[in-house]
Amino acid sequence: SDATAVANVLRSRYGYDATVLLNASRLEMLSALNDMREKLGANDNLLIYYAGHGEIDAAGKGYWIPSDAVAGNSKTWISNAVISDMLNAMPAKHVLTVVDSCYSGTMTRASSPSFDAASMPADKWATWVKTMANGRSRTALTSGGLQPVPDVGAGNHSYFARAFVNALQDNNKLLEAGR
């Protein structure tokens, strides 16, 4: 229900062309990412929302758990490093990965630059936005760090999904990933 809710608000409020994979297998997930790599051009943007199970191995590597995964067998999981490599290989200009799963913090390596629009003059804010928009970015927004996160919350959504959907619905201006 989380992925469907996010897709619905992205379609209706922002005009996104959204593809939803429900209970996808490892092959389906990797194929969808590869299809995006082949389809997207240098001026395209991509938002990936993953709501599902996550795992971490003894070495601290994080994984997405597809529907056909075998418990305790990381060979059947999808490594965050593999996902990051695929996203980096995409020619798309901006890629935002929103991950609502346990151990999702392993997707991030550094914090993104931020600029407080409320405390800065409009011309500096506009310059910052143009600079960021003209560059190439790969950003991850995650529901947690290196620990489990609750997968239940308000109604049929996790706490993270509900907050994310609310932020998208309530937004009336430029919405940076960090905000």
Cα–chain-centroid distance for residue 139? 8
Cα–chain-centroid distance for residue 96? 5
- Residue 158: predicted pLDDT: 84
| Cα gap 162→6, rounded to integer Å | 9
From first to last of the 179 residues of the chain, give the pLDDT tens digit: 899 999 999 999 999 999 999 999 999 999 999 999 999 999 999 999 999 899 989 898 999 999 999 999 999 999 999 999 999 999 999 999 999 987 787 777 545 555 555 666 777 667 766 766 667 888 888 887 665 566 665 567 788 889 889 899 988 877 666 66
Show Cβ contacts of residue 46 under 8 Å, excluding neighbours closer than 6 positions.
Answer: 36, 40, 90, 92, 94, 95, 96
**pTM, whole model, 2 decimals?**
0.82
Q: How far is CA 33 from CA 45, 136, 143, in A?
A: 13, 18, 21
| Cα gap 39→41, rounded to integer Å | 7
Q: Which amino acid is at 71?
A: A
Residue 46 bridge partners (DSSP) = 95
- Residue 30: predicted pLDDT: 97
